[in-house]
Amino acid sequence: MGYSHAREVESLNRSLSEISKDIQVSFEFFPPNSPEMETTLWSSIERLAPLKPSFVSVTYGAGSGTRDRTHDVIKRIQKDTALIAAPHLTCIDAGKEELVQIAKDYWQSGVRHIVALRGDLPNSSEKPSMYASDLVELLRSVADFDISVAAYPEGHPEAPNPQFDLLNLKRKVESGANRAISQFFFDIESYLRFRDRCVTVGIDVEIIPGILPVTNYKMLERFAGLTNVHVPSWMPKMYEGLDDDETTRRLVGANIAMEQVKVLNKEGVKNFHFYTLNRAELSYAICHTLGIRPQ
């Protein structure tokens, strides 16, 4: 390591330690589908709750079974913890009247923050009747929700071009979204360029970066292929030979995520959204490094 590189690393660490009190985090979970997964989920929520995240979101899949599990998890978080629960809500397989009733039920249950998404199409050849911007508008008509939407620094997989995708995000913001949470990414420059492009088209809400600590590289490759996320050429080398070494994979994943956060923080980012995959360990360790610790 040259002296200039060493000074750069030292500067990043010092910068982070000096402003860590300004950093806010949020966490994403998914509804469990087995007793064992349910135990893991609630153990992770209990572990991360003392860090006082700005909110915790719970994903929402197609089909009534998954939706019911999302509702149950959200209501339990709302009832049994001091956390702000933010359910994902999609409009791909529900009519407007049903969505209005779901929104009213959430509001009556004390839920004030919703992550509004279109949702995955069951058949890619079908054209949806509603989009995320329509859902944001519907939620605004029901109550004064705090609404987050999705952003895609490297473009939505279905978008014909980056400008189309950017203008779609603008429609969501103009419909009433308060912030956007980005798809996970590893190319930091792609996020920073995207953030700049948002400003140029008049998107004035915060674009919170989504951080995915990677513990299973093969699973990441599948995720990335489905979501149009670029995996840098250096990443597979980091996980070489670790297929049967989960402990080292976790250390590598935590280190990559920490470096992302350090660089983004130096670029002025104060809020981070962690995709926990229902496991608390890595997110907790990264937050500790950021100076976010139990009160």
Residues labelled as active-site residues: 28
Q: Are 265 and 19 in contact (CB under 8 A)?
A: yes
Residue 75 CA to its chain's centroid (Å):
20
Q: How far apart are CA 71 and CA 3, in angstroms?
A: 53
Beta-ladder partners of 27: 56, 274
Using DSSP, state whether 175 is helix, strand or coil: coil
Q: How far apart are CA 91 and CA 175, in angstroms?
A: 15
Q: How far apart are CA 116 and CA 96, in angstroms?
A: 14
Q: Are 286 and 257 in contact (CB under 8 A)?
A: yes
Closest CA to 91 of 114, 125, 57: 114
What percent of the chain is helix, strand and coil (3-state, nearest 5)? 50, 15, 35
Using DSSP, state whether 9 is helix, strand or coil: helix
Using DSSP, state whether 57 is helix, strand or coil: strand
Q: Indicate if the alpha-carbon torsion angle 276, 274, 222, 159 is positive or negative.
A: positive
Work out the angle between the directed axes of helices 188-200 and 246-266 (0-180°, nearest 10): 40
Using DSSP, state whether 223 is helix, strand or coil: helix
